Amino acid sequence: MNKKSAIFSRRLTVKSSTENLIEIRNFLSGIADELSLPKDLVDKIILSVDEACTNIIKHAYGSSPSEDININVKYFKDKLEVTIVDSGIHFDPSSVPPPDLKKYVKERKHGGLGMFLMKELMDKVKYSALPGGQNQLKLIKYI
């Protein structure tokens, strides 16, 4: 078998509302059960995808709840790859500086932590602007 082909894949499309975050987490949790993945690994993937989708809802779509978020999970021999596609405003996570918690506390900031968490919890976070104007975020965790 070609080692580059996915052993397993699942797709989910949800509307860009925070009330769907629970559906996204349940979708990932179901896949983890099917694949018998270890809990600590699953927790990291679920939180990272939650953070990515929250950013899409709030920043790419400006909290407009009726846009699409496409999530594609592929399981390879050595890694799990989650690809998230949206059609909102372009946003490259690698441009976000690491959080300065002391400063954020003084400024009474509510956000600015998600991107850092995602980068810490996953092995690779890759953003690409797709032809046609879509954004693609690839989250990779080696197993």
Partner 1 sequence: MAELTIQTREEGKVNIIDLSGYLDAHTAPQLENVFNKFIEEGKFNIVVSFTELQYISSAGLGVFMAYVETMRENNGDIKFTNLSESVYNIFDLLGFPMLYEFFKDEKEALAKFNEQGKN
From the list 3-11, 21-29, 68-76, 78-86, the region that binds partner 1 by CB under 8 A is 21-29
Among 36, 106, 131, 132, binds partner 1 (CB under 8 A): 106
Residues 6 or more apart from 11 whose CB is under 8 A from it?
70, 71, 72, 73
Is 102 a binding residue for partner 1 by CB under 8 A? The answer is yes
From the list 6-14, 53-61, 71-79, 129-137, the region that binds partner 1 by CB under 8 A is 53-61
Among 12, 75, 84, 114, binds partner 1 (CB under 8 A): 114
Q: How would you class 110 by CB atoms within 10 Å of its CB: exposed for 0-12, middle for 13-18, buried for 19 or more?
A: exposed
Among 45, 57, 60, 125, binds partner 1 (CB under 8 A): 57
Among 15, 41, 54, 87, binds partner 1 (CB under 8 A): 54
Helix or strand holding residue 8 (H, E): strand 8-15
What is the pairing mode between strands 68-75 and 124-129?
A: unpaired
Is 26 a binding residue for partner 1 by CB under 8 A? The answer is no
Residue 64's CB: how many other CB atoms inside 10 A?
12
